[in-house]
Structure 1
């Protein structure tokens, strides 16, 4: 059985939790989780890959087992979360790596790629958006309204995303076999976003999500110029980032490998772990092979 190691690092004065598995001399894969989860979302994927890869999966500040500084003590923006991730990787002496992004992990991963393009060997995006095409309007309309005009008229709709029902929906919508999804997932996530002060953390990040689409043209230019190997593996039933968001990668990366997984939703690993792990193993092995 593959060992998964659990560590803390002090990064810029904050304790950052991360999971690690595999031999450190093997090619490194960094897993970046989304909202409202943590590196726990990769708990089954990590051992499925660690026989061949060195896998690192941090919890962003404000999530999981990492510190949750107050909004007065830390600026909760995607730039700041990227700062912490970049500093953690530097501390761990990780200079070359593939990156796997999902949901919130995507804007962090794109910023890492723009800051240190030579560090990124390959990209795996699992329901992690980089194109306007991916936004499902019914989900995003209240988010954009809150970003544009945060206040008592717009906040209730996004605050509702912190509820148990909303988090359960994130896990189950679009999934053809919901009995495969462990209810501990949404229970744990809800417990964590319900910690004192965490609602303000999440609201700050909701507001800052508006900083991501303006970055997309730079991300697309990075794709076109670097032609980084990219795998998009996407739950076809995702009603947050729809399948058009996966297809869009081919515009700038004609060699991108794109898979829409029928019966999968936003948290695809919960219902289709073996499918995703198979795609990832094959893709990373091919990406590491000489042309």
Structure 2
């Protein structure tokens, strides 16, 4: 066996370790309606192989043209990804993953964290930058960028995600992120039993505090100029760091770390897939 065959065999073995059986069993029913119904033509690739190819791109950040050939042709993979993304399949995967996590492990809703993270977006410019979630990054000399805005539970498990241009302030994305929850938190009406939402200094505005209260949270906002306090028995420890750790998990997927997709819906689909993988892998780790 020559080196090329060994290399291809290695890639083939590694590829089928990407999507676990549990993950596939969870999402496979969503793809049933996309199966070919009419006979004829070449034999279609299995959807699990195509999803593995999309995962390979998500993990490595490579271009569609450089995906290993055993995943199928570039045009086939990209066509299926576009169809699934347009139909909201990846958002539904996120919802299913969140429902499975809630059933088997349970989100810790009492203390939640929210924050935004900037990513470079060296994509082609269009006339509808705001619609595609692209804007000039004020912290990177005005270069093109996007912002991921994330809501997590007490343990950093992703609950909701929103996409915007890098020029959109974090304080403007609270409602969009809450509305993007994959799974609604339990309804708690009494004021003293409301879940807590931890936010950093970027959200230190009266309108944000009112907005958070209107969404049923007790806000915990780090005030501008406020000195860091030592945690005492009577104080609540800050839990903002968990969302930063979740951003690190998401940016372990190279297609998330730098945005090369032109369409905002496609990048958001990759975000939903990454969040689903974070949830399902946590379940697999504790099983």
Instruction: State which structure, 1 or 2, has the greater radius of gyration over its C-alpha atoms.
Output: 2
TM-score by length of 2: 0.24
TM-score by length of 1: 0.24
